[in-house]
Structure 1
Amino acid sequence: MYRTSNQAYGSGVVTRNKEQMNQKPQDVDPIRIGIENIGNTCYINSMLQCLFNTPAISTAMKSYRDNKNSSELFKQFYKIWFSIQAEIEPEHNDIIQFKKLMNQHREFDNFNQQDCIEFFHVFLDIVNTAFLTQPFFGQLTYQINCQSCNNSSKQTEQFINLSIYIQQACKLSQLIYDYFKPEQLASQEKCRKCQKTSPLTRRTNLSASPMVLVIQLKRYDQRQARSNYAIEIEQSLVLKGFCDQSPQYKLYAVINHQGYTIYSGHYTCLIKGKNCWYNFNDQRVSEYSNKVVDEELQKSQNSYVLFYQRQ
């Protein structure tokens, strides 16, 4: 899992403003304007389309006024969004400038294919703008128990996406359940209470559910070998058994990836509209029927990043 740090994203407390808390998925179609690929930038284009169509972000962007304290990267992000809102394809120079500003992070200082979830993290880190990051913030609580004396300790950690390995063909809900099930840690540390070196058990709890739940399906291992297991992507999720509440989520966007490694191939994204789905493939935007997408999500081999809106 990619970890967030308090230093990178501001306050260590998960907070929501009232306007963001009231945001619900919009019952409208996304604006069907693509973004030019200027050289292996499909990973950026796909993620930008998902961000532009995240309800809390699109609402905040519409009321945004130029702020001299905003980062240059955010201002360029706004220019691209503004063009799309005006139903005009973003200008080539604006896209070039956005990429140049991303180049300040050395990992993106090239025109190689990159991982869209790494771009997601680095982009949010650089812009450091609350209304962009807050919708994705959640919190995990880890409870570690000593099996000798049952002494327990807790620690919390923020996240902006869950990263889940695929080890079998199954439903997404099964992968999530396995992610949160108790695990035995291979630790040789002594228990602070009983001073015995004994197995430790860790339980993970979703102690603060994000407004937007982002799930990365990790199809590649450390050797970049790809898992082609078909996963059934449920469009509705209810998180029970490992959460302080039982939040309900609806799927509204999917980033698909085709390729032998995460650093090659091609990224596209699907965005849910009022009566159908739309496939964004760089500059090309196509309409897909609900039936076609429903069938694709039943046995998905290319889904990589999923966006769910809390209901």
Structure 2
Amino acid sequence: QLAPRDKFLLTWKRPYGVGAGLRNMGNTCYMNAALQCLTYTPPLANYMLSQEHSQTCHHQEFCMLCSVQAHITQVLHHLGHVIKPSHALAAGFHTYKQEDAHEFLMFTVDAMKKACLPGHKPLGGHSEDTTLIRQICGGYRRSQIKCLHCHGISDTFDPYLDIALDIKGAQSVNQALDHLVKPEHLDGENAYHCSFCLKKVSASKSLNFHTSSKVLILILKWFSDFTGNKIAKEVQYPECLDMQPYMSQQKKGPLIYVLHAVLVHAGRSCQSGHYFCCVKAGNGQWYKMDDAKVTACDISSALSQPAYVLFYIQKTELERDSRPASVGQEPRALGAEDTDMGATQGELERGSCIKVPELEEHLEKSTLSSDQWKCLQEQNRPKPEFNFRKIESTLPSNVVGIHQSKYKSEMKKNHAEQDNYLLQKSARDVTDQVSLNTGKVPSLERRA
């Protein structure tokens, strides 16, 4: 199932509160925690609640998208209940023993991605980029190698659905990201074979993110690859994360992501422990989801957990304009007074763009006659300019914006001076002609 680009609303269409808890069926806390994080991911939940997929699904047998859609719908419509997750959600995955929540999460996400594709053969390339899961969680990394001898550059682009962060030398997520994109020097045994120099040379290798995902999934690598033991340390993570410093193409302004779910592992190794999560519901309230137990919490509690998987959502342009928040600070959580505004904000942010007909209607209503305009100019100098460029970035790509020339006033001035010059020249010509005919030179008063 292919989805149009920019189709998904990144905020809740309705201010849903907390839904049902999930029953632990025997060592299934890893599955419950991962499913709750997916349930409270707004763009995914909005799509599932629309029931659009089930109406067009052509899978004859099992479909992960249909199963997740049924699960999310059941959870969000059963406040205060405890439900039993379907066995179909873990089909093909090892169950009823201690498992890794991240592995189950990506197993589910990958199965949903495959369910989006028609037929049995993967489409690959641009077709996969237009699927539901790739549109929500997908992005591209850019690996760049620069030859220090001929300065030739080789770029490789790889798709990603999640980002793994090495935390051994980091005290925070930002430090781990800094380490991830830090250039690496290739020399000696690790020298780079340059296709231009046709030999091994010294080179610089760097990794950045070429395109950003709507939902950012960060994995903190707590466990040793050899022993499976968990690193004993604290790693801080912010509520608002700016990803712009880690992009391959630097743009003006930050690229802000806001935390909406934290999947937690409590234990000393990957072979033992317990999984739960903290999620932000559609009403803005944070909740701790511990299997069947659901309790309200605040953002400070969500930020103080030993996080294993972090879920961030990219802020839209309209959100950045209406609710400015500093990176690293804690904006207030939505309270009861904000819940009534959910539908209004959803309508404003639907599609994250400004409709051209509405803009044209606004301009037509603002049209004035020439005399009125001159009077208004005298009363309100300087006249504030309508900055069309501020909204230009949010208009559809096929819209052509016609900007008023900044030289317009200067052109009017030049035309006025030219007309005055021509008038005076004509007067002089007439005077010369009269002088020739009468032999007298009349005196002319030059008017200012």
TM (norm. structure 1) is: 0.83
1:283 aligned residue: 292
Kindly indicate which of the two structures has a greater share of residues assigned to helix. Answer: 2
**Is 2:10–2:314's contact at 8 Å kept on the other side of the alignment?**
no
Aligned equivalents of 1:225 and 1:267: distance in 2?
A: 16
Return closer, same or farther for 1:217/1:26 CA change in 2, 3 Å cut-off. Answer: farther
**Is 2:24–2:292's contact at 8 Å kept on the other side of the alignment?**
yes
- Aligned-residue offset at 1:265: 1.1
- Aligned-residue offset at 1:16: 6.1
Moved more, 274-283 or 52-61: 274-283
Aligned equivalents of 2:95 and 2:284: distance in 1?
A: 39
- Aligned-residue offset at 1:276: 3.7
- What is the CA deviation profile of residues 179-203 of structure 1, one whole-angstrom value per residue up to 9, with x for unaligned ones? 1111124635521111232233211
**Is 1:259–1:265's contact at 8 Å kept on the other side of the alignment?**
yes
- Indicate which of 240, 244, 257 corresponds to 2:244: 240
- What is the CA deviation profile of residues 148-195 of structure 1, one whole-angstrom value per residue up to 9, with x for unaligned ones? 322210110010111001113522211111111111246355211112
- What is the CA deviation profile of residues 237-278 of structure 1, one whole-angstrom value per residue up to 9, with x for unaligned ones? 112333124411111100000122223211101012445420
Return closer, same or farther for 1:275/1:136 CA change in 2, 3 Å cut-off. Answer: closer
Greater relative CO, 1 or 2 (CA 8 Å, sep 6+): 1
1:201 aligned residue: 204
- What runs of 5+ residues in structure 2 fail to find an aligned partner? 117-130, 316-448
2:258 aligned residue: 250
TM (norm. structure 2) is: 0.59
2:71 aligned residue: 80
- What runs of 5+ residues in structure 1 fail to find an aligned partner? 1-9
Q: Alignment partner of 1:257: what SS?
A: strand
1:3 aligned residue: none
- What is the CA deviation profile of residues 81-109 of structure 1, one whole-angstrom value per residue up to 9, with x for unaligned ones? 221122164654x523333x2x2xxxx23
2:235 aligned residue: 231
Work out whether 1:40 is the aligned partner of 2:44: no
- Aligned-residue offset at 1:28: 3.5
Return closer, same or farther for 1:154/1:252 CA change in 2, 3 Å cut-off. Answer: same
2:143 aligned residue: 142
Work out whether 1:305 is the aligned partner of 2:293: no
Aligned equivalents of 1:57 and 1:143: distance in 2?
A: 32
Q: Write the letter of the residue equivalent to 1:44.
A: M
Q: Which has the larger radius of gyration?
A: 2
- Indicate which of 47, 66, 86 corresponds to 1:60: 47
**Is 2:166–2:221's contact at 8 Å kept on the other side of the alignment?**
yes
Aligned equivalents of 2:39 and 2:99: distance in 1?
A: 20
**Is 2:146–2:205's contact at 8 Å kept on the other side of the alignment?**
yes
The root-mean-square deviation of aligned C-alpha atoms, in Å, is 2.4
Which structure 2 residues correspond to residues 109-188 of structure 1 after superposition, within 5 A?
109-127=94-112, 128=114, 129=116, 130-168=131-169, 170-185=171-186, 187-188=190-191
Equivalenced residues, count: 286
Aligned equivalents of 2:28 and 2:264: distance in 1?
A: 14
Q: Alignment partner of 2:201: what SS?
A: coil
- Indicate which of 262, 274, 279 corresponds to 1:266: 274
Q: Write the letter of the residue equivalent to 1:18.
A: D
- Aligned-residue offset at 1:123: 1.5
Q: Which runs of 4+ in 1 moved over 6 A?
A: none
Return closer, same or farther for 1:259/1:306 CA change in 2, 3 Å cut-off. Answer: same
- What is the CA deviation profile of residues 88-137 of structure 1, one whole-angstrom value per residue up to 9, with x for unaligned ones? 64654x523333x2x2xxxx234222222222222122232332442110
Aligned equivalents of 1:208 and 1:16: distance in 2?
A: 17
- Aligned-residue offset at 1:226: 1.4
- Aligned-residue offset at 1:205: 1.8
Aligned equivalents of 1:72 and 1:250: distance in 2?
A: 31
Return closer, same or farther for 1:68/1:232 CA change in 2, 3 Å cut-off. Answer: closer
